[in-house]
Amino acid sequence: MEEKRKPMELTAKNVDEVFHTCLFRENEIVGKKPICKSTLVEGIRAKFGFNTERLNGQKLNITDMVDQLANIEKGPSFLALCERKDGIIPSTRTPPSSRAQ
């Protein structure tokens, strides 16, 4: 019997882990160009390059966390993205030493 997958909880630590897992690594960029399939994202203050394969591998976790956002059905404002449906506002800082390598 297959075990049921537990959805990833929306926390600052989990968002940070997924984000850093998907980012390009130094050995995936040669001459300032990615050597594998890439997904480029332009944020408000920065641009990010993700390894598409790892990003797709995290799709269920990302969907789990997005589904926990408050008022996602109404299209939440950017400022409301820190609040979950259950009213909890996860911690906003994760010490760099606890990030996944």
User: Which alpha helices (H) appear in the chain, and where do they start and end?
Assistant: 12-22, 52-57, 59-67
Q: Token digits for 17?
A: 């882990």
Res 80 pLDDT > 60: yes
Domain count, the chain: 1
Q: What is the pTM of this model?
A: 0.73
Q: 79 or 35, which is more confident?
A: 35
Note whether residue 94 is domain-resident: no
Res 78 pLDDT > 70: no
Note whether residue 98 is domain-resident: no
Domain that includes residue 52, residue range: 12-85
Q: Where are the beta strands (DSSP E) in the chain?
A: 29-30, 33-34, 38-42, 47-51
Note whether residue 56 is domain-resident: yes
Instruction: Average the pLDDT over each of 5-9, 43-47, 76-80 and give the range with the smallest value.
Output: 76-80
